[in-house]
């Protein structure tokens, strides 16, 4: 007859082994859970920081060269002007948002307002999408709310004064050589010239004349070359209508004939009362209809706003005018008009990394944006 085992009798080796394996499984599961919790926390913390403090953006086009180069990665400060609260229900770090869902949004107070000549990132206004889902653009805010802007033969004037020259500001010029001398592309590059388009640095137009893309400093240097006969702006004549320009997105460009000449107008500001007429109708049409959500009609010369006959309107928000530093390779406010305040994302602060077709540009790493 077997003896009954006492409760204090030593357990079998199999029981011990099973208990040990069970404890190991619990430790493994606990370790996995801790890592998952940490990853989820890091994901949401990064999403919050990106929305409220700063974001990272890549430069895809040459519209801001040579201030910003294709392949630059930027840190953009959202807190400078104040972050926007979410405008929709979106998946963090993606462009996907729940269709048809729009949240009431406002801007948290920031450190300051947009200053003239800040380099800003914003949602491009002309796209027909919820604001936060529009494509991100980056331009220089050449004029702010209340400024008077004018373009005289390709030269920008703000409040009657010629714009401050930026080191990276480039325009297209016509360059005529002497005595059928060919322009050296290598010498042109060495002078600091930028591409006219793609990787083409000079566009031969015949009769010893080339189209080139130069900063003011580079233009001054080329004028000293003995083989150069003359150098002047490449521009559309003031009275000539550029069909490609007036057919740009939106209606703003229809108020002018081309992008090189613009009669003076005021950048709209909150509380400004404007008087609509046939000359400024297209300047303000998108602003009144699309950005400030009113109906606007012109019936046989009579202007109706929200069904009421009136030619006066009070602006509800501040607006800005953005232009690329690479002036003749930039689609900007000259084409599609004003940037509404609620479309602005932040202030471009620093280039944190840069590459040219995979080759790092170490001289641009941690470069402040001016």
Given this model, what pLDDT does residue 11 score? 52
Is residue 223 domain-shared with residue 256, that is, in the same domain?
A: no
Which CATH number characterizes residue 224's domain? 3.30.70.80
Q: What is the DSSP string of 244-301?
A: HHHTSSSSGGGGSSBTTBEEEEEPP-TT-EEE--TTTHHHHHHIIIIIS---EEEETT
pLDDT greater at residue 44 or residue 195 = 195
Of 182, 209, 233, the one marking the end of a domain is 233
Given this model, what pLDDT does residue 142 score? 97
In a domain, 35, yes or no: no
Given this model, what pLDDT does residue 103 score? 76
Is it the case that residue 19 has pLDDT exceeding 60? no
Is residue 262 domain-shared with residue 331, that is, in the same domain?
A: yes
Predicted confidence band of residue 339 (pLDDT cuts 50, 70, 90) = very high
Is residue 223 domain-shared with residue 246, that is, in the same domain?
A: no
Given this model, what pLDDT does residue 94 score? 62
Query: What percentage of the chain reaches a pLDDT higher than 70?
Result: 85
Mean pLDDT of 172-179: 95
In a domain, 65, yes or no: yes
Spacing of C-alpha 180 from chain mean position: 42
Predicted confidence band of residue 334 (pLDDT cuts 50, 70, 90) = very high
Predicted confidence band of residue 130 (pLDDT cuts 50, 70, 90) = confident
Mean pLDDT of 288-302: 92
In a domain, 140, yes or no: yes
C-alpha distances (whole Å) from 271 to each of 144, 247, 294 are: 15, 30, 16
Given this model, what pLDDT does residue 3 score? 46
Least confident window among 12-21, 76-85, 332-341: 12-21
280 - beta bridge partners? none
Predicted confidence band of residue 148 (pLDDT cuts 50, 70, 90) = very high
Given this model, what pLDDT does residue 133 score? 86
What's the number of domains the chain is made of? 2
In a domain, 13, yes or no: no
Q: What is the pTM of this model?
A: 0.85
- Beta-carbon neighbour count of residue 77 at 10 Å? 19
321 - beta bridge partners? 143
Is residue 101 domain-shared with residue 127, that is, in the same domain?
A: yes
Of 196, 214, 233, the one marking the end of a domain is 233
| Contact present, 73 and 56 (Cβ < 8 Å) | yes
Of 198, 233, 268, the one marking the end of a domain is 233
Is residue 198 domain-shared with residue 305, that is, in the same domain?
A: no
Mean pLDDT of 228-233: 96
Average pLDDT, the chain: 88
In a domain, 25, yes or no: no
Mean pLDDT of 161-183: 92
Is residue 251 domain-shared with residue 353, that is, in the same domain?
A: yes
DSSP 342: G
Name residues whose C-beta falls within 8 Å of residue 155's C-beta, 6 or more positions apart in sequence.
Answer: 162, 163
Q: How far apart, in whole angstroms, are the C-alpha atoms of residue 197 and residue 203?
A: 9
Per residue in 95-124, pLDDT tens? 667 776 677 887 989 999 999 999 999 999
- Beta-carbon neighbour count of residue 192 at 10 Å? 16
Is residue 124 domain-shared with residue 194, that is, in the same domain?
A: no
pLDDT greater at residue 147 or residue 32 = 147
Is residue 124 domain-shared with residue 241, that is, in the same domain?
A: yes
Structure tokens, 167? 């080191």
Given this model, what pLDDT does residue 1 score? 42
Is residue 137 domain-shared with residue 188, that is, in the same domain?
A: no
Length of the chain: 370
Given this model, what pLDDT does residue 55 score? 85
In a domain, 1, yes or no: no
Is residue 123 domain-shared with residue 265, that is, in the same domain?
A: yes
Given this model, what pLDDT does residue 10 score? 52
Given this model, what pLDDT does residue 33 score? 77
Residue 364's domain comprises 53-154+237-368
Q: Collect contacts of 96-105 with beta carbons under 8 A, ≥24 apart.
A: 97/130, 97/132, 97/133, 102/130, 105/342
Is it the case that residue 209 has pLDDT exceeding 70? yes
Least confident window among 19-23, 272-276, 335-339, 341-345: 19-23
In a domain, 285, yes or no: yes
Mean pLDDT of 67-80: 94
Is residue 243 domain-shared with residue 201, that is, in the same domain?
A: no
Is residue 121 domain-shared with residue 270, that is, in the same domain?
A: yes
Given this model, what pLDDT does residue 42 score? 61
Which CATH number characterizes residue 336's domain? 2.10.109.10
Given this model, what pLDDT does residue 96 score? 67
Given this model, what pLDDT does residue 340 score? 97
In a domain, 40, yes or no: no
Query: What percentage of the chain reaches a pLDDT higher than 90?
Result: 70
């Amino acid at each position: 007859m077997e003896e009954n085992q006492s409760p204090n009798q030593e357990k079998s080796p199999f029981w011990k082994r099973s208990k040990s394996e069970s404890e190991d499984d619990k430790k493994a599961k606990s370790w996995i859970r801790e890592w998952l919790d940490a990853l989820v926390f890091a994901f949401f913390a990064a999403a919050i920081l990106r929305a409220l403090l700063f974001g990272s953006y890549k430069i895809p086009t040459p519209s801001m060269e040579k201030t910003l180069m294709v392949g630059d990665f930027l840190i953009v400060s959202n807190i400078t002007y104040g972050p926007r609260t979410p405008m929709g229900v979106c998946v963090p770090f993606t462009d996907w948002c729940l269709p048809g869902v729009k949240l009431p949004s406002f801007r948290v107070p920031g450190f300051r307002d947009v200053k003239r000549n800040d380099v800003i990132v914003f949602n491009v206004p002309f796209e027909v999408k919820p604001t936060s889902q529009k494509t991100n653009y980056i331009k220089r805010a050449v004029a702010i709310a209340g400024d008077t802007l004018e373009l005289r033969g390709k030269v920008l004037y703000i409040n009657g004064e010629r714009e401050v020259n930026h080191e990276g500001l480039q325009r297209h010029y016509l360059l005529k050589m002497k005595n059928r001398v060919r322009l050296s592309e290598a010498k042109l590059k060495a002078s600091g010239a930028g591409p006219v388009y793609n990787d083409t640095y000079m566009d031969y137009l015949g009769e010893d004349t080339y189209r080139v893309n130069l900063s003011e400093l580079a233009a001054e240097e080329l004028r000293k070359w003995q083989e150069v006969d003359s150098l002047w702006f490449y521009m559309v004549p003031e009275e000539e209508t550029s069909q490609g320009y007036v057919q740009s997105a939106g209606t703003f460009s229809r108020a002018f004939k081309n992008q090189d000449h613009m009669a003076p107008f005021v950048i709209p500001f909150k509380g400004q009362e404007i008087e609509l007429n046939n000359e400024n109708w297209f300047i303000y049409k998108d602003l009144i209809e699309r950005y400030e959500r009113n109906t606007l009609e012109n019936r046989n010369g009579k202007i109706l706003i929200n069904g009421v006959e009136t030619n006066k309107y009070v602006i509800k928000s501040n607006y800005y005018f953005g232009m690329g530093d690479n002036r003749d390779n930039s689609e900007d406010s000259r084409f599609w008009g004003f940037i509404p305040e609620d479309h602005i994302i932040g202030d471009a602060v620093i280039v944190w990394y840069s590459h040219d077709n995979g080759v790092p540009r170490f001289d641009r790493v941690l470069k402040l944006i001016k």
